[in-house]
Amino acid sequence: MKILIVDDEKLARDRLNRMIAKLPNYEVIAQASTGKEALEIMASRSPDIVLMDIRMPDMDGIQAARYLSEMALPPAVIFTTAYDDRTLDAFETHAVDYLLKPVKKERLLAAMDAASKLHTALALQVSQLEESIEPRRHICARVRGSLVLVSVDDIYYFNADQKYLTVGHTGGEILIEGALKALEIEFGDRFYRIHRNALISLSRVNGLIPKNNGHHVCFNGTDKTLEVSRRHLANVRKIIKSL
C-alpha cells in the first residue's frame, strides 16, 4: 500500500516515515507539510492511504480530506493529532480513524490495516464530518489536468448549469461538480441565493441594476452580472441595503 504523510512538523513526518519503513506491505511515496501541498501531490501520485495531521496552517487536514473525498478513487484518510479534544468525538462517531501523537507502532499498523480494507468507504465517512467542522476556505477544481485552488474570499458567485457549477472568482471562472444547496448550507450567511441557479458572495456585491427587463446583481471588480429571480428580488434588495 502506498502512503502519503502530511504534517507541518518535519520531526513528526520523519518519525512516521521511519515507523512505516519497518512495516511490511507499506511504502511512503511522498511527504507534504500542508494540506494544499498534499493536494498538489495527489494530482500526480496516487497513494492508497494518507496520514493527515489535523491542525496545519493555511489549509488544515479536515479541509484537505474533503477535497480528497471528491476524487473518483479517493485514498483512505487517517487523521493524526496531538489534541485529545471533543473534535475527536466526531471522528469516532463517523468511524474515521485517528491517531494520537506520539503515534505508537502497534496503533499505526492497526489503523493502516483497517484503512487498506476501507480504501473507498472512508471517503463517504469523511464527507459526513462536514456538519461538525468549519466551512472550506478553498474550492478545488481540475483545469487542463492541473489542480486549481480558489480562496472562498475571492469568489463572486456559484452558478449552476446542469451537472456543473461555474465558480466566478477574481481570476476568472472554473467548473466544479456539486449542488448549490450543499454550498448554501456549508457557507451559511457568506453567500446568498438570488435565483434557483445562483448564489452570490455578499462581500463582493456592489448593487442591483436594471437589465433585460429584470434586475441583475453586479459585483466589485468584475463586469459580470447575474439575474435575480422575481421570487428573490424583494429579499435581495433588503440584503443589499443592509450591507
Q: Is the pLDDT of residue 232 over 90?
A: yes
Whether the Cβ atoms of residue 90 and residue 145 lie closer than 8 Å to each other? no
| pLDDT for position 117 | 77
Residue 221 has pLDDT above 80, yes or no: yes
What is the C-alpha to C-alpha distance for residues 113 and 229, in angstroms, rounded to an integer? Answer: 52
Q: Domain 2-132, what fold?
A: Rossmann fold (3.40.50)
* Residue 62: per-residue pLDDT: 82
Span(s) in the chain for CATH 2.40.50.1020? 154-242
Ranking 3-7, 79-83, 232-236 by mean pLDDT, the lowest is 79-83
Q: What is the CATH code for 154-242?
A: 2.40.50.1020
Look at residue 86 in the predicted model and tell me its pLDDT: 45
**What would the pLDDT profile of 13-71 be if each residue is shown by its tens digit?**
999 999 999 888 899 999 999 988 998 888 777 888 999 998 888 888 888 887 877 77
Handedness of CA 103, 105, 110, 114 (dihedral sign): positive
At 181, the pLDDT band (50, 70, 90 cuts) reads confident
Q: Model confidence over 83-137: pLDDT tens digits?
A: 765 455 445 433 357 788 899 989 998 888 888 876 655 445 555 555 556 788 8
Give the β-pairing of 2-6 and 76-81: unpaired
Intervals of CATH 3.40.50.2300 along the chain: 2-132
pTM for the complete prediction?
Answer: 0.55
Residue that wins the pLDDT comparison between 82 and 140: 140
Residues 6+ apart with CB under 8 A from 25: 1
Give the chain's end-to-end CA distance (angstroms, integer). Answer: 52
